[in-house]
């Protein structure tokens, strides 16, 4: 996987599969300390302790017909390659949180990729799920909370073409600081 956004898609897709109603994606850049932090938290079905341990191994998946699950081990591998850290905590019935740090100056850190399109695909592709995206880059902050957007839409679906246009423009204008 050559972009961090692909990891974000994959981990958030796991949350959707786990029937999460709310998903938080938080990306924090702290250049002074050479840190890039990624947090993905959901309120899905969660995992018991043994499963939460096993999923960090590539040879585990609960997907039917799939013997090898790669989403989590790949992210863990990328984090550790850069000298960063990986933490997964989960509880049955409560949800799952993945917290990863990367050394932002490590030569093997993949590029972030297109975070704007990643947000759009997740929001528009999962209209029933609520997302909070929290981006922070050296003191500049941006938050998109789909609950707030939906409240303004007054019943118009969040994947309506005009809403997608609006969101695209909104993200273009407000996330500038986060696109390197
Ligand atoms: N957020 C989550 N909530 C509950 N269970 C999860 C969550 N994320 C992962 N899992 C469990 O961990 C397993 C492994 O996840 P992983 O993303 O590594 O592989 P996968 O989703 O099975 O396959 P792949 O991502 O390669 O298509 C999943 O099959 C699922 O059982
Ligand atoms: Mg997966």
Q: Which of 7, 10, 14, 122 to mutate to test the pocket of ligand 1 (most atoms within 8 A of CB)?
A: 14
Token pair of 164 as six digits: 């997608």
**Per-residue buried b or exposed e for 51-79, using 16+ beta carbons within 10 Å of the residue's own CB:** ebebbeebebbeeeeeeebebbbbbbebb
CB within 8 Å of 8: residues ≥ 6 apart: 25, 27, 38, 40, 115, 118
Q: Which of 46, 71, 88, 126 to mutate to test the pocket of ligand 1 (most atoms within 8 A of CB)?
A: 71
User: How many degrees, rounded to 5, is the angle at CA 10 between CA 89 and CA 145?
Assistant: 75
Chain-centroid distance, C-alpha 18: 14
What is the atom index within ligand 1 of the atom nearest the CA of 44?
Answer: 3
Per-residue pLDDT for the chain (180 aa), expressed as one digit of tens each? 589 999 999 999 999 999 999 999 999 999 999 999 999 999 999 999 999 999 998 777 777 777 667 889 999 999 999 999 999 999 999 999 999 999 999 999 999 999 999 999 999 999 999 999 999 999 899 999 999 999 999 999 999 999 999 999 999 999 988 875
Closest CA to 76 of 62, 65, 61, 87: 87
What pLDDT shows up at residue 129?
98
């Amino acid at each position: 996987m050559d972009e961090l956004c692909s990891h974000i898609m994959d981990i958030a897709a796991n949350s959707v599969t786990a029937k999460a109603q709310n998903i938080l994606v938080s990306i924090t850049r702290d250049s002074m300390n050479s840190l890039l932090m990624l947090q993905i938290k959901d309120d899905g079905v969660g995992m018991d302790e043994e499963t939460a341990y096993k999923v960090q191994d590539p040879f585990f998946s609960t997907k039917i017909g799939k013997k090898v699950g790669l989403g989590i081990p790949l992210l863990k591998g990328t984090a550790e390659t850069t000298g960063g850290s990986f933490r997964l905590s989960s509880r049955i019935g409560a949800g799952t949180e993945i917290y990863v740090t990367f050394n932002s100056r490590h030569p093997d850190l993949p590029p972030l990729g297109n975070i704007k399109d990643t947000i759009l695909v997740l929001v528009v592709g999962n209209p029933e799920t609520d997302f909070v995206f929290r981006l922070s880059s050296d003191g500049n902050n941006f938050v998109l909370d789909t609950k707030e957007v939906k409240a303004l839409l007054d019943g118009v679906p969040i994947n309506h073409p005009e809403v997608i246009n609006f969101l695209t423009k909104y993200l273009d204008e407000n996330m500038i600081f986060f696109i390197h």
